[in-house]
Amino acid sequence: MFRIDFNKLRFLVCDDNAHMRRILRTLLHSFGAREVYEAEDGATALEMYTLYTPDILITDWSMPIFDGLELAQMIRQPDGPGNPYAPIIMLTGHSEKRRVMVARDAGVTEFLAKPISAKSLYQRILNVVANPRPFIKTKSYFGPDRRRNTSNAYIGVERRTGAKAEVVQQPSLLDKARAPG
């Protein structure tokens, strides 16, 4: 097992609830993060995303101006400003399977149901840093590979069909964030 050196990572936290932003900032600081930027809506977050180029975005789903889902879709534009590969952790109080799938299809990397715990947040961050998923580029989707299981034997209804997808390896944050030890 290895430790993540959080002070080498930049975070952008986007939530319209100031109390939730404070909780997330406090947790990230307790993990060792020093650069934590905050936005109260999707529009501000998009501006800050291009300005500060965070390594990891943590966003709420439901916000004014545009929500976390729309924010994820804008960030996942391969030709857009900023880094389209940055991990996106979606927070929401609504964790029904349908919503998780919609977020996944918008390019969200990890999903975290509220109320959150320090352990669950740390685990999601550890996962995006230590186990980055390759990105898939097709005519209709650009984002992290939506499949957790990479077996080619799957034949279910969600099997990818059509033209071959381009697989783009995601730049790993592990080298940047590995703590000496």
121-170 pLDDT, tens digit per residue, is 999 999 999 888 888 888 888 888 876 555 556 566 655 555 567 777 76
Cα–Cα distances in Å, from 41 out to 51, 66, 180?
Answer: 15, 7, 36
SS (HEC) of 14-79: ECCCHHHHHHHHHHHHHHCCCEEEEECCHHHHHHHHHHHCCCEEEEECCCCCCCHHHHHHHHCCCC
In this structure, are strands 35-39 and 10-14 parallel, antiparallel, or unpaired?
parallel
CATH of the domain at 91: 3.40.50.2300
Cα–Cα distances in Å, from 126 out to 4, 44, 46, 139?
Answer: 7, 26, 24, 30
Q: Is residue 172 part of a domain?
A: yes
> Which whole number is the average pLDDT over 77-91?
89
Q: What does the pLDDT read at residue 54?
A: 96
Average pLDDT over the chain reads 86
Q: Coil, strand or helix: which one is 177?
A: helix
Give residue-wise pLDDT tens across range 12-30.
Answer: 999 999 999 999 999 999 9
Which of 59-68, 72-81, 153-162 has the largest mean confidence? 59-68
Report yes or no: 38 and 25 within 8 Å, Cβ to Cβ: yes
Instruction: Categorize the per-residue pLDDT at 116 as very low, low, confident or very high, splitting at 50, 70 and 90.
Output: very high
Q: Is residue 1 part of a domain?
A: no
Instruction: Categorize the per-residue pLDDT at 33 as very low, low, confident or very high, splitting at 50, 70 and 90.
Output: very high
Asked whether residue 178 carries a pLDDT value surpassing 90, the answer given is: no
Q: Is residue 37 part of a domain?
A: yes
Instruction: Categorize the per-residue pLDDT at 177 as very low, low, confident or very high, splitting at 50, 70 and 90.
Output: low
Q: What does the pLDDT read at residue 31?
A: 96
Rounded percentage of the chain residues whose pLDDT exceeds 70: 82
pTM of the model: 0.86
Task: Give which of 138, 86, 166, 130 is closest to 71, Cα–Cα.
Answer: 86
Q: What does the pLDDT read at residue 148?
A: 59
Domain that residue 110 falls in: 6-177
Q: What does the pLDDT read at residue 155?
A: 62
Q: Is residue 137 part of a domain?
A: yes
Cα dihedral sign, 161-162-168-173: negative
User: Looking at the 3D structure of the chain, how many domains does it have?
Assistant: 1
Cα dihedral sign, 53-57-63-68: positive
Q: Is residue 24 part of a domain?
A: yes
Q: What does the pLDDT read at residue 138?
A: 85
Q: What does the pLDDT read at residue 133?
A: 87
Q: Is residue 38 part of a domain?
A: yes
